[in-house]
Structure 1
């Protein structure tokens, strides 16, 4: 893998718009798959959304987060705006810290993003309870921990198309 002159991280190609859209659509489709309500799974949509908020904040912003949240609200038949509010706030704070987070290793990035994932999940619980829903067990918060634990893997997979090839041509500048 080719390293930049400082040697800190690999040089990345510009991201392709189609890859961002496909990754968001695949994560949305995975979120739409019906599963048992008692089963706690990581939120892949939130993971991919935050990844692109951090890596491409001008391309994937608060509007995309709001749209995906509204789609999730309609799909889950929950309080209208519950997921939209949580995703929008999550996106806002991810964009706010995106420069600082990129200085850390993927494991430390996951630690920095865990409070954001927890806050977004708590936001949905608070909105649900405000309109008369029942308080879920605290076991539901393990979803945020699993989502944060998948951050290094998601970063590896979503950055793979942007990495330079191993066999570099010396006649090519990049």
Structure 2
């Protein structure tokens, strides 16, 4: 007998992605703009780990495409980097879910670093110390982001 997965409250996933996109668009002062965490990547990673049957490479690519348009970057760069990041998360989601939060944060470090690296290579920008700041802030904020999104998932019973 085939097993079916019942899905519920998918709008919550969409709303969290929209909020994370809006957080990326909030203007910051010049001294703080380099410290902006990768809200969208962290949100995609959480949902890909928690519900890989709902959020996978296609959702990541589409979200990255929306980010490319919204941020005015080179079309397809964020789409590719988000899809690549979520491919890696989806490939190892069962292992990642078993890790304690500090080890997951190290994974976040690696994945966000990959996203930043793809952006630097694709746009032929030079790698400066500012490129490391979103990686570090995303890593440090991962436990908080994880707790918030897990609470949202459990409150709205997203499956």
TM-score, normalising length: structure 2: 0.84
- CA pair 35-151 structure 1, distance change in 2 beyond 3 A: same
Q: Which residue of 2 aligns with 1:68?
A: 63
Structure with greater proportional helix content: 2
Higher relative contact order (CA 8 A, sep 6+): 2
Name 1:137's counterpart in structure 2: 128
Q: CA RMSD in A?
A: 1.9
For 2:30 and 2:69, the matched residues in 1 are separated by 17
Unpaired runs of at least 5, structure 2: 1-6
Asked whether the 8 Å contact 1:101–1:109 carries over to 2, the reply is yes
Alignment of 1:10-159 (within 5 A): 16-35=9-28, 39-40=33-34, 41-129=36-124, 134-159=125-150
2:3 counterpart residue number: none
Q: CA deviation at 1:136?
A: 4.1
- Give me the whole-angstrom Cα distance separating, in 2, the residues matched to 1:15 and 1:37: 41
Q: What TM-score, normalized to structure 1?
A: 0.77
C-alpha change, 1:37 and 1:64, in structure 2 (3 Å) is farther
Unmatched runs of 5 consecutive residues or more in structure 1: 1-13, 165-174
Q: Point out the structure with max Rg over C-alpha.
A: 1
Contact kept in structure 2, 1:86 and 1:124, CA below 8 Å: yes
SS at match of 1:150: helix
Contact 1:90/1:116 (8 A) holds in 2: yes
